[in-house]
Amino acid sequence: MSRKIVCLPGDGIGPEVLDGARTVLEAADERFGLGLSFESQDFGGIAIDKHGDPFPDSTRAACQGADAVLLGAVGGPKWEGGEVRPEQGLLALRKTLGTFANLRPITLFEGLEHLSPLKEDRAAGIDLLIVRELTGGIYFGKRQEGETHATDECAYSAEEVERVARIAFKAAQGRSGRLTSVDKANVLASSRLWRRVVVRMQAEEFPDVTLDHMLVDAMAMKLIEAPAWFDVILTENMFGDILSDEASVLAGSIGLAPSASLGDGVGIYEPIHGSAPDIAGQGKANPLGMILSAAMMLRHSLDAADAADAIEAAVQAHLASSARTADLGGTAGTGETAEAVAARLSE
């Protein structure tokens, strides 16, 4: 059975890290017989240059017909300030595929404690998962913008909260059974709805999961004070955007952080770093965030958990060696790193 992976290399270092992920996926395919096939499409800034659209119809059709989508990175100074921007393609992609939940695991790998901005004893043991609602809230609400007044509406329905909370509860069941729901229920009506829905779901559907609530400002502090205490964190779109970026630096490098965007159909998998145009084309980028995103793809979209586990173990073994990329204090290149992880899969 063939499994079609649509690759969106995008801009900056996107093509380099995605090539690295393909190298590792091809090694996994050879070992586990996954039946993977790959198709590349234009997306982001390069698609604006070629097609005048960051998400052309041909790319849209390919993504809709895929089993999963791998995305490198989009954006760069070349397209800043234009009427058509690469980031508009991201929103359109998520809307087209209905990916309403963003999963961002944050793991501090053993031996990298000294790279975290936190003291080593406080950083040790960080292993958490942030589940962020992705298609509602203030980013998608009604807005008005004028010279002297502007409004952005934050709106949620109970159904929108339920579907993303269900993913978070199920993730907690597969981990340590603890879920922290983050809101601003002391101020916002949308947060009070959010909390009511989550409380009801825990009582009716997930009584085996321990549920805690935390206000978003307190959560921002606790992620620094005691990050290892958290397991699964559930929150709405804007809060999740901010908290996941804060949490990403705790593991030593944003280059290690993967993500998955899931819904009822095709999933999107991408590292959380940007396009880093300052190092594009130099072979310096860390491909491990993209490779770990590919592992998430195997687990969540392709029902290939064994292959995903093997890739994650190969990444961990590689990080235990001295051959690291510049962001981790080493000199290894992008391709060299990907080849090393692929070789460990083949051993």
Interior/surface letters 55-78, b for 16+ CB within 10 angstroms, e for the rest: bbeebbebbeebbbbbbbbbbbee
pLDDT of residue 334: 96
Question: By C-alpha distance, which of 294, 310, 319 is closest to 68?
Answer: 294
Phi, psi values for residue 143, rounded to 5°: -145, 150
pLDDT at 233 over 90: yes
Banded pLDDT at 144 (limits 50, 70, 90):
very high
Measured in residues, the chain has a length of 347
pLDDT of residue 83: 87
pLDDT of residue 225: 95
pLDDT in tens, 35-80: 999 999 999 999 999 999 999 999 999 999 999 999 999 999 999 8
pLDDT at 184 over 80: yes
pLDDT in tens, 254-272: 899 999 999 989 999 999 9
pLDDT at 1 over 90: no
Mean pLDDT on 144-155? 95
Question: Is 0.95 topped by the overall pTM?
Answer: no
Alpha carbon distance 130, 181 (integer Å)? 10
pLDDT at 322 over 80: no
Banded pLDDT at 308 (limits 50, 70, 90):
very high
DSSP calls for 292-320: HHHHHHHHHTS--HHHHHHHHHHHHHHHT
Nearest 10 degrees: Cα torsion 83, 84, 87, 91: 110
pLDDT of residue 201: 98
- The set of catalytic residues is 139, 184, 217, 241, 245
Mean pLDDT on 94-98? 93
Q: Which residues contact 331 (CB under 8 A, 6 or more apart)?
A: none
Alpha carbon distance 274, 293 (integer Å)? 14
Mean pLDDT on 211-239? 97
Mean pLDDT on 197-220? 98
pLDDT of residue 50: 97
pLDDT at 323 over 90: no
